[in-house]
C-alpha cells in the first residue's frame, strides 16, 4: 500500500465526518502518511486537492508540498511555533476540520471554528498493517539479527551491559550507515531478575544470563524482539526455566491461531508457565502490537477484551524471573493472518546457539 492509498483512506474518513480537511501534528502519523521525519515540529494538512506539510527546512515528504520554516541545530535560535503560525496565517483553511488530537497544539486547534477528532478511526486503521509496513518491520528484524550476531561474536564474560549496548549500535550502524534509534533492556547477571533496565556498567559473570530486549526504529517502522544469552553452559535450574519459557511460547503461538482476545493470550502463556511449575514468576504482559509504534494495542494482559484481527503485527514476550538470582526472556514478532500466524523473526531459540564463549 502506498502513501497515496493511506492518505486516500484517511480522507474518506474525514469526508464521512463532513470535513474537507484532515490535520495532524503527530510525528508517527505524518511519517505513516508521507514518510517525513524531522527533528522539529511538523503539521500535515490533507485535502482532496493536495497534501501540504509544514516542516523544518530540508524535510522530505512523498508527493507533498513542503512549506519550510528555518531550523538549525546547535546554538542557533529557532522559533518553530512562530514560524508555523506565520505560514498557517497565509493559508486558506476551512472552518471545520478533522484532526488527530494526539500531539496537536492548542493554538493550531483554535484555527478552526469546529473540529472533529479522528483519533479512534486512525487507531483502527494503523492496527492493520499493509505490505509496506510488513516489509518495514522485517527490515528492522533483519537489523536485529545482525545485532544479535554481533553480541554472540563479541561479548564474553567480563564485558559490561554498556559493552553490549555499543556492540549493538556499531552492528546496526554498519548496516544502515547512520546512528540507529533503539530502545532496549540490556540486563546481565542477577540484573536479569529485575525485568527492565540498563545498560549500565554491570558485568556479565561466568554462568550468568544476558537479556537483550531490542526495539529498533528504521525508516518509520518498529520491531521488538528478545533473546537471552548465557555466559557459558547454564546450570540445570536455568535450563529448566529456559525450557519452560520456550514451551509457553509455543502455547502462545497456538493461542494466537485460535483465540479472539488479548486476555486469552495472556491466560494461555501464564497457564503454560504454571503447568511447568512457575506460577506467578512472570509479572509483565505477554506481548503487544508493534509496527508503526514500538508499543501498540492489543496489549496481552489479564482479561483484556481487545480483539485480535488479521493484519496485526504482535509480539509474544514471555519470561521467568527469580529475585536476586536470574531472569530469562524470549520474544518473537508475528503477523496475524486469516489462516493463522506468520513468524517474522527466525533467529535461533536453541539454547546451545545462545551460549557466549
The mean per-residue pLDDT over the stretch 71-83 comes to 74
Which grid coordinates are listed for 123? 487507531
205, 157 in Cβ contact below 8 A?
Answer: yes
pLDDT at 357: 85
pLDDT at 39: 86
Q: Is residue 123 pLDDT above 80, yes or no? A: yes
Q: Give the count of beta carbons closer than 10 Å to the beta carbon of residue 129.
A: 23
* Mean of pLDDT over the chain: 94
Nearest to 116 by CA among 247, 230, 17: 17
Provide the angle, in degrees to the nearest 10, between the axes of the packed helices 262-275 and 236-258. 150
Question: Among all chains, which residue has been given the C-alpha cell 513542503?
Answer: 66
Share of the chain above pLDDT 90, in %: 90
Domains and CATH numbers, the chain: 3-126 (3.40.350.10), 131-356 (3.90.230.10)
Confidence of residue 71 (pLDDT cuts 50, 70, 90): confident
Q: Is residue 75 pLDDT above 70, yes or no? A: no
pLDDT at 1: 55
| 124 DSSP assignment | H
Q: Is residue 77 pLDDT above 90, yes or no? A: no
The mean per-residue pLDDT over the stretch 214-218 comes to 96
pLDDT at 92: 87
Rounded Cα gap, residues 23 and 79, in angstroms:
21
User: What's the pLDDT tens digit per position in 289-327?
Assistant: 999 999 999 999 999 999 999 999 999 999 999 999 999
| DSSP states of 257-316 | HH--BHHHHHHHHHHHHHHTT-TT---S-S-EE-SSSSSEEEE--TT--PBP-TT-EEEE
| Backbone phi, psi, residue 227, to 5° | -135, 150
User: What's the pLDDT tens digit per position in 15-58?
Assistant: 999 999 999 999 999 999 999 988 889 999 999 988 999 999 99
Q: Is residue 83 pLDDT above 80, yes or no? A: yes
Amino acid at each position: 500500500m502506498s502513501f497515496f492509498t493511506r492518505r486516500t483512506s484517511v480522507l474518506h474518513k474525514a469526508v464521512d465526518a463532513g470535513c474537507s480537511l484532515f490535520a495532524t501534528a503527530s510525528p508517527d502519523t505524518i511519517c505513516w502518511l508521507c514518510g517525513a521525519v524531522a527533528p522539529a515540529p511538523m503539521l500535515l494538512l490533507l485535502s482532496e486537492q493536495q497534501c501540504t506539510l509544514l516542516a523544518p527546512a530540508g524535510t522530505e515528504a512523498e508527493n507533498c508540498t513542503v512549506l519550510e520554516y528555518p531550523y538549525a541545530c546547535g546554538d542557533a535560535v529557532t522559533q518553530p511555533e512562530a514560524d508555523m503560525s506565520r505560514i498557517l496565517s497565509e493559508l486558506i483553511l476551512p472552518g471545520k476540520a478533522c484532526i488527530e488530537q494526539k500531539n496537536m497544539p492548542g493554538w493550531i486547534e483554535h484555527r478552526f471554528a469546529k473540529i472533529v477528532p479522528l483519533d479512534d478511526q486512525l487507531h483502527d486503521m494503523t492496527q492493520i498493517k499493509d505490505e509496506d509496513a510488513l516489509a518495514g518491520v522485517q527490515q528492522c528484524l533483519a537489523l536485529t539479527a545482525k545485532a544479535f550476531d554481533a553480541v554472540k561474536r563479541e561479548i564474553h564474560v567480563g564485558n559490561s551491559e554498556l559493552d553490549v549496548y555499543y556492540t549493538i549500535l556499531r552492528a546496526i550502524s554498519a548496516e544502515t550507515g547512520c546512528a540507529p534509534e533503539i530502545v532496549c533492556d540490556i540486563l546481565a547477571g542477577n540484573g536479569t531478575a529485575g525485568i527492565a533496565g540498563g545498560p549500565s556498567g554491570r558485568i556479565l559473570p561466568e554462568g550468568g544470563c544476558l537479556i537483550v530486549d531490542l526495539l529498533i526504529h528504521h525508516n518509520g517502522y518498529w520491531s521488538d524482539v528478545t533473546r537471552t544469552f548465557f555466559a557459558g553452559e547454564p546450570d540445570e535450574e536455568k535450563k529448566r526455566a529456559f525450557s519452560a519459557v520456550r514451551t509457553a511460547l509455543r502455547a502462545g503461538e497456538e493461542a494466537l491461531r485460535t483465540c479472539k482476545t488479548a486476555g486469552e493470550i495472556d491466560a494461555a502463556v501464564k497457564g503454560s508457565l504454571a503447568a511447568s511449575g512457575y506460577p506467578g514468576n512472570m509479572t509483565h504482559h505477554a506481548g503487544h502490537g508493534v509496527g508503526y509504534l514500538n508499543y501498540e494495542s492489543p496489549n496481552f494482559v489479564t482479561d483484556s477484551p481487545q480483539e485480535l484481527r488479521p493484519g496485526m503485527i504482535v509480539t509474544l514476550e514471555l519470561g521467568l524471573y527469580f529475585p536476586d538470582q536470574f531472569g530469562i526472556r524470549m520474544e518473537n514478532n508475528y503477523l496475524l493472518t486469516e489462516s493463522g500466524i506468520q513468524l517474522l523473526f527466525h533467529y535461533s531459540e536453541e539454547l546451545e546457539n545462545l551460549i557466549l564463549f
